[in-house]
Structure 1
Amino acid sequence: MSLFVGLDVGTQSVKLVAYDPQARRIVATHGQPLELIAGNDGSREQHAQWWIDAIRSCFARLDPALRTRVAAIGVSGQQHGFVPVDRDGNVLAPAKLWCDTSTSAECDEIMSAVGGARRSVELAGNPILAGYTASKLPWTRKHRPEVYAKLASILLPHDYVNFWLTGERWMEYGDASGTGWLDVRTRTWSRDMLAATDARTDLSAMLPPLVEADSSVFISRAIAEELGLPRDVRVAAGGGDNMMAAIGTGNVANGVLTMSLGTSGTLFAHADRPVVDEDAGWAAFCSSTGGWLPLICTMNCTVATENVAKLFGFSTRDGDAVMAGTTPGADGLVMLPFFNGERTPDLPNARASLSGMDMGNLTRGNMYRAAMEGATYALRNGFDALQAKGLSFDSIRLTGGGSQSAAWRQMVADVFDLPVQVPEQAEGAAFGAALQALWAHSRATGAASDIAAIAREHVGVDESASAKPQADAVAAYATHYRQFLRHLGSAQQLYGPASSATAPR
C-alpha cells in the first residue's frame, strides 16, 4: 500500500502527485502557484524559499492518512537554475532561472576563453547558451560580489529541494549536464570549462558529488515530522524537469520522441550513447535513467498563448473556442514568440513580433492561433535539426499544459506530420519523479527493478486524446512554416549575428 510522491518545482508552480503503484493510479494531486521576478535586462529569478513554502502547502493539503503511506519522494526541478548557498546552508540570493537571459554576455566570455562555441562542444558536448548555469557564476561575481565571496555550494533548483528534504547535497548526471560544465561523453566535470568560468576559483570544490539516477537517501527526521511523513521515507536522486518528463511519458527507450508544451517548449528522445552535435543543433544532455537525452529547447511556448489570452481578457482554457473558425496560417498573421529571448535558435536578445496584419485579420482568434503556431513552428525548426542528423521517430508523446488543448494536439500532428499520443498522466514531470522514486526505492530495498520495465508497466496512453495528421492541413502548414522560417531569418539578422549552428534548417 506504499505511495510514491513526485514533486515538480517548475517556473509557474509547484505540483505534487501521490502515486499508488499497486492500484496504478494517482490518488492525489496538489499544486501551488509561484511568482516570478522579471527584469527589463532579461533577468528571471525566484526566491528558493518560495519553492519550499509551496511544497509545504502541497503536503499540508495531502490527506494525513495518505502521508503515512509515503515510501519515497522524487523531485523534478526546472533545469539550469543557480541557487547560491553558503557553508551553513543559507541561500545567499534569489535563484537565477533557466529563462534568465541577462547573462548572455557571460556565455560569450566563457566560450571565448576556451576557443569558441565549437571548442565548448568538443570539451563538454554543449555550447554555453543563455540560461545555462555556467554563465550565472561570472554574472554573480560581477553584480553580486558579496554573494560570490560567501559562495560555498552551487546547487540547481531540484538539488536545493533535495538538500532541504535530507540535509545532504548531491547532484545527478541529467540535471548536471545542463550546467554547461559536465562532459556528457565521460560524465565528469570538464576542468577546462570550469576554469573558463572562473580561473581564480576552484569551482569543482563547490559542486556536490555526482550520484547515479537510482540513488536515494533518507529524509531528515525534522522534515519528516514537519510534513507528517514516516521517518524512513527515501528521497530519490531526482532530476531536471525534462529528464523526469521523459520517465513520465515512457521515453526511456530508443525511438520515442516527447514534446513538452509548457512555459518552455522541449523535444527530447532517449539514447543509450552520447548524442553530440558538433553544430550544436540540440542540447546533448544525460538522462536521469543512466542514458542520454538529446534535447531541443525553445524558451517561449505557452508563454505566447498566455500573453495573447491575457491581452484579450480570456483564459487559455477557452483558447480552443476562441480559435474556432480560424484556419491554418491565421489568415496571414505570423508571430515570432520570443517574449523571453530565444535559445533555439540562439537569440537571447530577440523580442517577439507579429507580422502580416491588415484591416481584416487582426482578430483575437487569429492572434491566438498565430501564437500557438509560432510556438509550434519554433519546435519544428529544432526537430528539423534532429532529422538532418538522421534521427527518425514514429510518433510524438505530448505532455505539458498545452497538451490539454485538442486544437494544439491536432496542430502538432499536422505541423510535424506524425501521430500524437498523450499519456494518461498529464503531469509528466511530477509523475516521472514519482516513478523514479519507485525505482530508487526498489533498488534500495533489494528488489530487482528496471526503469524501462517500470515505465512500460505504469505509463499509459489516453487514446481519446490521440491525434493523427490530416493531409490537407499538413500541406497547408508546410507552406506557412516556410513563411515562418523567412521571418525567423530576418530576426536572426536583426538580433544575431547568426551562425551556422543557429540558422534555420
Structure 2
Amino acid sequence: MNLVVGIDVGTQSVKLVAYDMESRCVVAAHGQSIELIAGDDGSREQIASWWIDAVRTCFAKLPRQLRAEIVAIGVSGQQHGFVPLDADGNVLAPVKLWCDTSTQNECDEIMAAAGGADRCVALGGNPILAGYTASKLPWTRKHRPEAYAKLATILLPHDYVNFWLTGERWMECGDASGTGWLDVRTRQWSADMLAATDAHRDLLACLPPLVAADASFVISDSIAEELGLSPGVRVSAGGGDNMMAAIGTGNVRSGVLSISLGTSGTLFAHADHAVVDDEARWAAFCSSTGGWLPLICTMNCTLATEMVASAFGFSARDGDTVMAGTLPGAGGLVMLPFLNGERTPDLPHARGSLHGMDLGNVTRANIYRAAMEGATYALRSGYDALLATGLRFDAIRLTGGGSHSAAWRQMIADVFNLPVEVPLQAEGAALGAALQAAWANDHARGGHADIAALASEHVVIATGLSTRPDPANVDAYRQHYQVFLRHLDVARSLYAHSPVTGAA
C-alpha cells in the first residue's frame, strides 16, 4: 500500500498522477480539460463545480483495483482564485482566477487604505497586485452584493477541492501567501491588510485556520465511497501549483532555479528565510514545505506561443518544426507577449505587441519564435532582480508544457546561461502534490520522513533532455534581450495608466 495521488487543478485542465512510492514510478496519469470564462474587462473566471467534475472524471479513469490501493492524496491548485462559500459550504459565485485583471482599481484602493505599496510590503511582504485574492473581495462587494452578503468562508482553489474531499476547511501558508493578507515573515494573517481590504467586516472570521505544511485530514466516508477509495485515505495540506511544482522538480535546496512554462510562466527558488524585496520585484511567498519561495510570475507564457500557432493554423506541438531554421532574434522581430496584461513587470493594462516588422521578416516561423523569445525574456527580466540580491544558481529545473519543446529548452539554457535539467515526470505540480501527500501521511502515522530527502529520491532527471548553453547563442541572446528591454521601457510608459479610467 504505497500508492499516492497528486491532483493539479490548473487553468486549462485538471491532472491526476498516481505514483508508487516503492517502485518509484508513475503507474497512471490522466487529465480532463476545463473551460475558461473570459470577459472584455479582463475578467477570467471558472465554475468551482467544473474542477470537481474533472476530478471525478480523472478518478473514474483509474482501474478500481488501483483506486483501492491509494493511501494518500495531495492537491495542487492554481493560486489566488477567490472561492466564496456561504455558511453551508455552497459556492456563491463564479471563481475569479489568478489571471483576472478586472480588479486593478480595487488593488489601488487596498494599497491606498494600507498606506501605499511600500507599506503593504512592510506589513505582509507583498504589494496587492492584479490577480491576487485580496482585490477580488471588494470587487465582489461592489459587483455581486448578494454573494458578499452571504459570504462565510474564503477558500482558494486547492482549498476548495480539499473541502470537497474531506468536509474540512483549512489553508496552508504557501498558497495563503498569495492572497495578499498573509505576513510571510511571521506566517500569520496581517490584521492591517485585512482591515485595508474591507473595513466593514471581520475578514479574519471568513478565513479558515492555517495548518502546518505536513498536516493531513481523513477523506470523508461519502467521497471515499463515491470515488472507490478505501476508508481512511489521508488528504495532505496541499498547496499552490508553484509550491507543489517546487517539490515535484526537486527545488528544496539552495542553488536550484525552477522555471515552469505553462499558461503563465513562473520562476522560483528555495529559501530557508523570508526573502522580501522592498521594491517588490518578486513575490515573497512561503513554500508548502515549511520554507519560503521567492517567485517571479509572468501572466503570458505558452499562452503567447499557442495564440500565434492558432492564428497561423498549426498546433503548438509542431512549433519546433515550424521555427526550424530561424535564428536568435527572430529576424529582428520583438514581441511583448502581454495578451493577458502582465504581472512581471507590473503592467496589468498592457496588451501584446509586435515590433521590428519589415518586408522580409514577417513569417509565421519568425513570429512564433518572437513569441517564445518574448515569453522567455519576460522571465529573464524577473531573474535579473533575484540576481541583484546576491542569490546564485547552478542549474535550472524546467517543467510545464513548454518543457516538451527542445527549442524552448535550448532557448532557456542560452538566455539564462545555465544548464537546464528536465524531471522525467513532466507534471511537476501533480508529482509534488503526491510527494507531499506521502510526506504528510508518514508524519500522521508517527514517521519522520524529510521532504527534501523524498524529493531527492523520487525526482528523476531525464538525462536525454538535459541541455547546456551554446556560447554563440548566449552572446546573441544577450544583445537581443537588451533590445527587448528597450521596448519594455516604452511599454511601461504607454501602459502606466488605465485605458478606461486614466487612473494610475
> Shared fold by TM > 0.5?
yes
1:308 maps to a residue whose letter is V
Q: Specify the alignment match of 1:396 in structure 2.
A: 396
Segment drifting more, 489-498 vs 195-204: 489-498
Q: Specify the alignment match of 2:288 in structure 1.
A: 288
Q: Specify the alignment match of 1:71 in structure 2.
A: 71
Equivalent position SS for 2:135: helix
Q: Specify the alignment match of 1:503 in structure 2.
A: none
Q: Specify the alignment match of 1:252 in structure 2.
A: 252
Q: Following the alignment from structure 1 to structure 2, what is the Cα–Cα distance between the partners of residues 266 and 471?
A: 25
Q: CA deviation at 1:154?
A: 0.3
Q: Specify the alignment match of 2:262 in structure 1.
A: 262
Equivalent position SS for 2:134: helix
1:219 maps to a residue whose letter is I
Contact preservation (8 Å) 2:260, 2:398: yes
Deviations 1:1-54 (A, max 9, x none): 321000000000000000001000000000000100000000000000000000
Q: CA deviation at 1:497?
A: 5.5
Q: Specify the alignment match of 2:132 in structure 1.
A: 132
1:92 maps to a residue whose letter is L
1:10 counterpart = 2:21 = no
1:177 maps to a residue whose letter is S
Q: Following the alignment from structure 2 to structure 1, what is the Cα–Cα distance between the partners of residues 31 and 173?
A: 27
Equivalent position SS for 2:72: strand
Deviations 1:170-224 (A, max 9, x none): 0000000000000000011000000000011100000000000100010000000
Pairs within 5 Å for 1:338-487: 338-487=338-487
Q: Pairwise CA RMSD of aligned residues?
A: 0.8
Q: CA deviation at 1:156?
A: 0.1
Q: Specify the alignment match of 2:242 in structure 1.
A: 242
Equivalent position SS for 1:247: helix
Contact preservation (8 Å) 2:104, 2:129: yes
Q: Following the alignment from structure 1 to structure 2, what is the Cα–Cα distance between the partners of residues 314 and 207?
A: 45
Deviations 1:370-413 (A, max 9, x none): 00000000000000000111111011000000000000000000
Pairs within 5 Å for 1:103-142: 103-142=103-142
Q: CA deviation at 1:253?
A: 1.4
Q: Specify the alignment match of 2:337 in structure 1.
A: 337
Q: Specify the alignment match of 1:45 in structure 2.
A: 45
Q: Specify the alignment match of 2:25 in structure 1.
A: 25
Equivalent position SS for 1:5: strand
Q: Specify the alignment match of 2:196 in structure 1.
A: 196
1:161 counterpart = 2:135 = no
Q: CA deviation at 1:56?
A: 0.3
Q: How many residues align?
A: 498
Deviations 1:461-498 (A, max 9, x none): 11100111111100110111000001101100000169
2:365 maps to a residue whose letter is G
Deviations 1:128-162 (A, max 9, x none): 00000000000000000111000000000000000
Ranges of 4+ aligned residues in structure 1 off by more than 4 Å: none
1:89 counterpart = 2:89 = yes
TM-score (structure 1 length as normaliser) = 0.98
Equivalent position SS for 1:111: helix
The gaps in structure 1 that reach 5 residues or longer are 499-505
Q: Specify the alignment match of 1:223 in structure 2.
A: 223
1:172 counterpart = 2:163 = no
Q: Specify the alignment match of 2:58 in structure 1.
A: 58
Q: Following the alignment from structure 1 to structure 2, what is the Cα–Cα distance between the partners of residues 32 and 3?
A: 21
Q: Following the alignment from structure 2 to structure 1, what is the Cα–Cα distance between the partners of residues 33 and 215?
A: 29
Q: Following the alignment from structure 1 to structure 2, what is the Cα–Cα distance between the partners of residues 218 and 317?
A: 40
Q: Specify the alignment match of 2:501 in structure 1.
A: none
Pairs within 5 Å for 1:251-330: 251-330=251-330
Equivalent position SS for 2:131: coil
1:220 maps to a residue whose letter is S
Segment drifting more, 488-497 vs 213-222: 488-497
Segment drifting more, 15-24 vs 356-365: 356-365
Q: CA deviation at 1:419?
A: 0.5
1:63 maps to a residue whose letter is P
Q: Following the alignment from structure 2 to structure 1, what is the Cα–Cα distance between the partners of residues 389 and 279?
A: 10
Q: Following the alignment from structure 1 to structure 2, what is the Cα–Cα distance between the partners of residues 254 and 408?
A: 24
Deviations 1:419-474 (A, max 9, x none): 10001110000000000000000001112211011011111111100111111100
Equivalent position SS for 1:74: strand
The gaps in structure 2 that reach 5 residues or longer are 499-504
Q: Following the alignment from structure 1 to structure 2, what is the Cα–Cα distance between the partners of residues 65 and 359?
A: 62
2:239 maps to a residue whose letter is G
Q: Following the alignment from structure 1 to structure 2, what is the Cα–Cα distance between the partners of residues 115 and 167?
A: 38
Equivalent position SS for 1:133: coil
2:413 maps to a residue whose letter is A
1:71 maps to a residue whose letter is V
Q: Specify the alignment match of 1:205 in structure 2.
A: 205
